[in-house]
A = this chain, B = another copy of it.
Amino acid sequence: MKAVNIGVIGLGTVGAGTVDLLHRNQEEITRRAGREIKVTCAAVRDLSRGRHCDTAGITLTTDPNEIVSDPSIDVVVELIGGCEVAFDLVTAALAQGKHVVTANKALIATRGNEIFEQASTAGLVVAFEAAVAGGIPVIKILREGLSGNRVEKLIGILNGTCNFILSEMQEKDADYAEVLTQAQQAGYAEADPYFDVEGVDAAHKLTILASIAYGVHLNFQSVYVEGISALTRDDIIFAQEMGYRIKHLGMARRSTTGLDLRVHPCLIAEDHLLANVTGVMNAVVVEGDAVGETLYYGAGAGAQPTASAVVADLIDVVRTLTADPGNRVPHLAFQASALAKPGIIPLAEVYCAHYLRLTVQDQPGVLADITKILGGHGVSIKAIHQHGTGDEDGKVPVVIVTHVAQEAAVAAAVSGIEALPASAHPVVRIRLETLEGH
């Protein structure tokens, strides 16, 4: 059978990893796909730079449009990231009748609806397994492996940088800023860490997973997003003392009133499988009505794990080349005409348990005032811990774990507590997820 010709746009970390993997496992890949998958050209920014892969037999160009318009190319692999140029190139490739494979989570999360519509109209496939959780084939798992289920919830450690920083803060009893610097030096965090540590990257990924799990359009703007940059060493220690770990999670749940889509730090029980996912690893828990709770774990980033997903997509695309487009797996798991439009539950209406860290003057009656305010807003208390006996100014940290309560009630109670004369600092507030079961 004729080889399938691939054009790769971008030979950075993932691009070079992809070329390398296709080359290294060429024989096994051909045995699986039934035909050769061959990178014939690649677009790079600078022809004179060294590469992390063998480019023998690959025509290099600095103009990605040459790849997009080359009639000998069957599939375009977009690996430059970003939304502007990538969007133009992907849509141009589709306009030229080419299938597309991409690892670009920002592009899919924010422009995927337009891209998939164009692709479907043209009978083409846009594959994006590499956009979420690196080498863990979680898109395939959700879209095909669990296709008989109603997904009840989906909870993931979706950003390796956040998970690495939180693991290190815990293990080394270190502060956020200190660990971030180390992570940057070790290459686990970008020079500008904003997208990772503020939760934007995890929100892109959650957007994609939620869309596939629930059969809704991509809806990035509806996700509530909070990062990890405000977490302190104290909170990690206090949580640990009570049998919890703090993890940065992306969560999607379905209820009768709509979808609950959130990305933020969470306390979770230390014996939950997710609590033991450390370092740069990713993991996703999917609970389906038939399958129950399942978990998928692996490296969420890096040249080779991401290349693993890109190559799996390439093999899938090659297999669909002769399939009737109407019978292919839909981009968002459900037929495009059958995507639903559920309401997104506003954060204020979400129910969640909370960890609250207060800093108060250590004086009689303060706890009574605090518990009265919480009770007045219907927020019931599971545990109160006072840590230490106060600093020189007589201030002490008090940690309160609440039972499940509505966000709006907790917010109102927190405002009330902060208005107390004995309250010395803003209340630190981290949600606590039971993850139901375990």
Hey, which bits of chain A sit against chain B, CB under 8 A?
1, 17, 21-22, 24-25, 28-34, 129, 134-137, 140-141, 144-150, 215, 273, 276, 288-299, 302, 304-305, 307-312, 314-316, 318-324, 326-330, 333-335, 338
Contact call A297/B312, Cβ cutoff below 8 A? no
Contact call B291/A305, Cβ cutoff below 8 A? yes
Q: Which of B137, B307, B322 contacts A141 (CB 8 A)?
A: B137
Q: Report chain B residues within 8 Å CB of A295.
A: 295-298
Q: How often does this chain occur in the complex, in copies? A: 2
Q: Report chain B residues within 8 Å CB of A316.
A: 144, 147
Q: Report chain B residues within 8 Å CB of A329.
A: 319
Q: Report chain B residues within 8 Å CB of A328.
A: 319
Give chain B nearest CB distance to A145 CB in angstroms.
3
Q: Which of B22, B29, B290, B311 contacts A307 (CB 8 A)?
A: B290
Of chain B, the residue at the smallest CB distance from A310 is B148
Give chain B nearest CB distance to A103 CB in angstroms.
13
Q: How far is the CA of A80 from the CA of B231 in the complex (A)?
A: 55
Contact call A290/B273, Cβ cutoff below 8 A? no
Contact call B289/A294, Cβ cutoff below 8 A? no
Contact call B305/A292, Cβ cutoff below 8 A? yes
Contact call A29/B315, Cβ cutoff below 8 A? no
Contact call B150/A146, Cβ cutoff below 8 A? no
Q: Report chain B residues within 8 Å CB of A289.
A: 24-25, 304
Q: Report chain B residues within 8 Å CB of A334.
A: 28, 31-32
Q: How far is the CA of A321 from the CA of B324 in the complex (A)?
A: 9
CB contact under 8 A between A32 and B298, given known A25-B289, A140-B145, A146-B312: no
Q: Report chain B residues within 8 Å CB of A146.
A: 135, 137, 308, 312
Q: Report chain B residues within 8 Å CB of A29.
A: 147-148
Q: Report chain B residues within 8 Å CB of A309.
A: 148
